[in-house]
Protein backbone atom coordinates (compact mmCIF):
# COMPACT_ATOMS: atom_id res chain seq x y z
CA UNK A 1 0.00 0.00 0.00
CA UNK A 2 1.29 3.48 -0.87
CA UNK A 3 1.92 6.23 1.63
CA UNK A 4 -1.21 7.98 0.32
CA UNK A 5 -3.27 4.90 1.14
CA UNK A 6 -1.74 4.70 4.59
CA UNK A 7 -2.58 8.35 5.16
CA UNK A 8 -6.20 7.67 4.24
CA UNK A 9 -6.34 4.72 6.64
CA UNK A 10 -4.79 6.82 9.40
CA UNK A 11 -7.31 9.62 8.82
CA UNK A 12 -10.21 7.16 8.70
CA UNK A 13 -9.23 5.60 12.04
CA UNK A 14 -8.87 9.01 13.69
CA UNK A 15 -12.23 10.15 12.32
CA UNK A 16 -13.83 6.94 13.57
CA UNK A 17 -12.38 7.41 17.05
CA UNK A 18 -13.51 11.04 17.25
CA UNK A 19 -16.98 10.12 15.97
CA UNK A 20 -17.36 7.36 18.57
CA UNK A 21 -16.12 9.68 21.31
CA UNK A 22 -18.68 12.33 20.37
CA UNK A 23 -21.42 9.74 20.86
CA UNK A 24 -20.08 9.00 24.34
CA UNK A 25 -19.15 12.47 25.52
CA UNK A 26 -18.97 11.38 29.13
CA UNK A 27 -15.79 9.42 28.41
CA UNK A 28 -14.20 12.54 26.95
CA UNK A 29 -15.39 14.95 29.63
CA UNK A 30 -14.61 12.73 32.65
CA UNK A 31 -10.80 13.13 32.44
CA UNK A 32 -11.19 16.87 31.89
CA UNK A 33 -13.49 17.27 34.91
CA UNK A 34 -11.11 15.13 36.97
CA UNK A 35 -8.20 17.39 35.99
CA UNK A 36 -10.13 20.54 36.89
CA UNK A 37 -11.21 19.14 40.27
CA UNK A 38 -7.74 17.89 41.23
CA UNK A 39 -6.03 21.14 40.25
CA UNK A 40 -8.69 23.25 41.99
CA UNK A 41 -8.65 21.40 45.31
CA UNK A 42 -5.08 22.38 46.15
CA UNK A 43 -5.59 26.19 46.15
CA UNK A 44 -8.76 25.68 48.20
CA UNK A 45 -7.02 23.44 50.70
CA UNK A 46 -3.81 25.46 51.06
CA UNK A 47 -5.37 28.88 51.20
CA UNK A 48 -4.09 32.24 49.92
CA UNK A 49 -0.39 31.56 50.45
CA UNK A 50 0.92 32.90 47.16
CA UNK A 51 4.54 31.80 47.51
CA UNK A 52 3.58 28.22 48.38
CA UNK A 53 1.02 28.02 45.57
CA UNK A 54 3.57 29.25 43.04
CA UNK A 55 6.06 26.57 44.09
CA UNK A 56 3.45 23.83 43.96
CA UNK A 57 1.69 24.86 40.76
CA UNK A 58 3.84 23.07 38.14
CA UNK A 59 3.91 19.78 40.01
CA UNK A 60 0.21 19.81 40.93
CA UNK A 61 -0.98 20.66 37.42
CA UNK A 62 1.35 18.13 35.81
CA UNK A 63 0.36 15.33 38.20
CA UNK A 64 -3.31 16.15 37.61
CA UNK A 65 -2.81 16.04 33.84
CA UNK A 66 -0.90 12.77 34.09
CA UNK A 67 -3.61 11.07 36.14
CA UNK A 68 -6.37 12.47 33.94
CA UNK A 69 -4.68 11.16 30.79
CA UNK A 70 -4.50 7.71 32.37
CA UNK A 71 -8.26 7.49 32.90
CA UNK A 72 -8.97 6.73 29.25
CA UNK A 73 -5.92 4.58 28.47
CA UNK A 74 -7.59 1.25 29.20
CA UNK A 75 -10.23 1.89 26.51
CA UNK A 76 -7.67 2.67 23.79
CA UNK A 77 -7.75 -0.85 22.33
CA UNK A 78 -10.30 -2.62 24.55
CA UNK A 79 -13.41 -1.79 22.48
CA UNK A 80 -11.84 -2.91 19.20
CA UNK A 81 -10.53 -6.04 20.90
CA UNK A 82 -13.99 -6.90 22.26
CA UNK A 83 -15.92 -6.43 19.00
CA UNK A 84 -13.33 -8.08 16.73
CA UNK A 85 -12.31 -4.92 14.89
CA UNK A 86 -8.73 -5.27 16.10
CA UNK A 87 -8.42 -8.75 14.62
CA UNK A 88 -9.83 -7.57 11.30
CA UNK A 89 -7.34 -4.72 11.17
CA UNK A 90 -4.49 -7.12 11.96
CA UNK A 91 -5.51 -9.19 8.93
CA UNK A 92 -5.78 -6.16 6.63
CA UNK A 93 -2.95 -5.00 4.31
CA UNK A 94 -2.40 -1.91 6.46
CA UNK A 95 0.37 -2.15 9.08
CA UNK A 96 -0.85 -2.73 12.61
CA UNK A 97 1.60 -0.03 13.69
CA UNK A 98 -0.48 2.44 11.70
CA UNK A 99 -3.50 1.60 13.84
CA UNK A 100 -1.39 2.13 16.95
CA UNK A 101 -0.29 5.59 15.83
CA UNK A 102 -3.84 6.54 14.84
CA UNK A 103 -5.14 5.38 18.21
CA UNK A 104 -2.44 7.32 20.05
CA UNK A 105 -3.11 10.46 18.03
CA UNK A 106 -6.85 10.11 18.71
CA UNK A 107 -6.17 9.70 22.43
CA UNK A 108 -4.07 12.87 22.39
CA UNK A 109 -6.76 14.82 20.54
CA UNK A 110 -9.52 13.68 22.89
CA UNK A 111 -7.65 13.53 26.20
CA UNK A 112 -4.33 15.35 25.96
CA UNK A 113 -5.17 18.45 23.92
CA UNK A 114 -8.13 19.50 26.13
CA UNK A 115 -5.82 19.31 29.15
CA UNK A 116 -3.30 21.57 27.38
CA UNK A 117 -6.02 24.12 26.62
CA UNK A 118 -7.52 24.19 30.12
CA UNK A 119 -4.22 24.13 32.05
CA UNK A 120 -3.46 27.90 31.70
CA UNK A 121 -6.89 28.72 33.13
CA UNK A 122 -6.21 26.47 36.11
CA UNK A 123 -2.74 27.97 36.47
CA UNK A 124 -4.28 31.35 37.21
CA UNK A 125 -5.60 29.90 40.48
CA UNK A 126 -2.01 29.41 41.59
CA UNK A 127 -0.97 32.95 40.69
CA UNK A 128 1.19 32.06 37.68
CA UNK A 129 2.01 34.98 35.41
CA UNK A 130 1.49 35.02 31.64
CA UNK A 131 5.01 33.79 30.84
CA UNK A 132 4.76 30.89 33.29
CA UNK A 133 1.36 29.94 31.88
CA UNK A 134 2.84 29.88 28.38
CA UNK A 135 5.73 27.66 29.48
CA UNK A 136 3.27 25.38 31.28
CA UNK A 137 1.07 25.04 28.20
CA UNK A 138 4.09 24.37 25.96
CA UNK A 139 5.46 21.73 28.33
CA UNK A 140 2.08 19.98 28.36
CA UNK A 141 1.86 20.22 24.58
CA UNK A 142 5.16 18.36 24.34
CA UNK A 143 4.48 16.01 27.22
CA UNK A 144 0.90 14.81 26.74
CA UNK A 145 1.68 13.05 23.40
CA UNK A 146 4.41 11.13 25.26
CA UNK A 147 1.86 10.15 27.91
CA UNK A 148 -0.42 8.82 25.17
CA UNK A 149 2.40 6.98 23.42
CA UNK A 150 3.80 5.32 26.53
CA UNK A 151 0.29 4.60 27.77
CA UNK A 152 -0.50 2.81 24.51
CA UNK A 153 2.20 0.26 25.28
CA UNK A 154 0.67 -0.42 28.68
CA UNK A 155 -2.84 -0.59 27.20
CA UNK A 156 -1.69 -3.14 24.60
CA UNK A 157 0.23 -5.25 27.11
CA UNK A 158 -2.75 -5.48 29.48
CA UNK A 159 -5.33 -6.13 26.76
CA UNK A 160 -7.71 -8.88 27.84
CA UNK A 161 -5.99 -9.32 31.22
CA UNK A 162 -8.01 -9.52 34.43
CA UNK A 163 -7.46 -6.44 36.58
CA UNK A 164 -6.06 -4.58 33.59
CA UNK A 165 -6.70 -1.15 35.13
CA UNK A 166 -4.48 -1.69 38.15
CA UNK A 167 -1.80 -3.44 36.10
CA UNK A 168 -1.85 -0.64 33.53
CA UNK A 169 -1.21 1.92 36.26
CA UNK A 170 1.68 -0.09 37.68
CA UNK A 171 3.26 -0.39 34.23
CA UNK A 172 2.89 3.18 33.03
CA UNK A 173 3.35 5.35 36.12
CA UNK A 174 7.09 4.62 36.52
CA UNK A 175 7.62 5.37 32.82
CA UNK A 176 5.81 8.70 33.20
CA UNK A 177 8.25 9.98 35.84
CA UNK A 178 10.83 11.49 33.40
CA UNK A 179 8.09 13.37 31.55
CA UNK A 180 6.72 14.66 34.85
CA UNK A 181 10.16 15.80 36.02
CA UNK A 182 11.08 17.61 32.80
CA UNK A 183 7.59 19.08 32.28
CA UNK A 184 7.20 20.52 35.76
CA UNK A 185 10.90 21.35 35.88
CA UNK A 186 10.62 23.60 32.83
CA UNK A 187 8.10 25.84 34.60
CA UNK A 188 10.15 25.85 37.81
CA UNK A 189 13.34 26.68 35.89
CA UNK A 190 11.65 29.58 34.14
CA UNK A 191 10.37 30.92 37.46
CA UNK A 192 13.91 30.75 38.86
CA UNK A 193 15.28 32.66 35.88
CA UNK A 194 17.11 29.64 34.47
CA UNK A 195 17.08 28.39 30.90
CA UNK A 196 14.25 26.09 29.84
CA UNK A 197 15.82 24.93 26.59
CA UNK A 198 17.35 21.84 28.18
CA UNK A 199 14.03 20.64 29.58
CA UNK A 200 12.24 21.11 26.27
CA UNK A 201 15.09 19.49 24.33
CA UNK A 202 14.93 16.40 26.53
CA UNK A 203 11.14 16.23 26.21
CA UNK A 204 11.46 16.58 22.45
CA UNK A 205 13.98 13.75 22.40
CA UNK A 206 11.63 11.58 24.47
CA UNK A 207 8.81 12.36 22.06
CA UNK A 208 10.86 11.39 19.01
CA UNK A 209 12.05 8.17 20.63
CA UNK A 210 8.50 7.32 21.64
CA UNK A 211 7.15 7.94 18.13
CA UNK A 212 9.79 5.62 16.72
CA UNK A 213 9.73 2.75 19.23
CA UNK A 214 6.17 2.73 20.59
CA UNK A 215 4.43 1.54 17.37
CA UNK A 216 6.85 -1.41 17.23
CA UNK A 217 6.20 -2.34 20.87
CA UNK A 218 2.43 -1.88 20.56
CA UNK A 219 2.30 -4.00 17.40
CA UNK A 220 4.12 -6.85 19.13
CA UNK A 221 1.87 -6.60 22.21
CA UNK A 222 -1.33 -6.54 20.13
CA UNK A 223 -0.28 -9.60 18.12
CA UNK A 224 0.39 -11.48 21.35
CA UNK A 225 -3.06 -10.47 22.67
CA UNK A 226 -4.71 -11.67 19.44
CA UNK A 227 -3.06 -15.10 19.50
Q: How far apart are the first and last CA of the chain?
A: 25
Is 65 in contact with 118 (CB distance < 8 Å)? no
Phi, psi of 134 (to 5 degrees): -65, -40
**pLDDT, tens digit (0-9, with 9 covering 90-100), for 56-88:** 888 888 998 888 888 888 788 887 787 777 888
Cα separation of 49 and 59, whole Å? 16
**Residue 28 pLDDT greater than 80, yes or no:** no
Helix (H, G, I), strand (E, B) or coil at 59: helix
Cα separation of 193 and 216, whole Å? 40
Q: Which of 96, 94, 105, 133 is nearest to 223 (CA)?
A: 96
The C-alpha angle 144, 164, 140, rounded to 5 degrees, equals 5
How many domains in the chain?
1
State if pTM tops 0.85.
Answer: yes
pLDDT-derived band of residue 221, with 50, 70 and 90 as boundaries?
A: confident
**pLDDT, tens digit (0-9, with 9 covering 90-100), for 94-149:** 788 888 888 889 889 988 899 999 988 888 888 888 888 888 899 999 999 999 99
Domain hosting 196: range is: 3-226
pLDDT-derived band of residue 14, with 50, 70 and 90 as boundaries?
A: confident
Amino acid sequence: MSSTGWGQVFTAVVQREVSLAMKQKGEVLTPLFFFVIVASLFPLGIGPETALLLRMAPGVIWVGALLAAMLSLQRMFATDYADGSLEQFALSPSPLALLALAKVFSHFLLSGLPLVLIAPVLGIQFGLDARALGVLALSLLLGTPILSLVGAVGAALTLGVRGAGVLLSLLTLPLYIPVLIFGAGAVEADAAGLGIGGHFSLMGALLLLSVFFVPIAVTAALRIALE
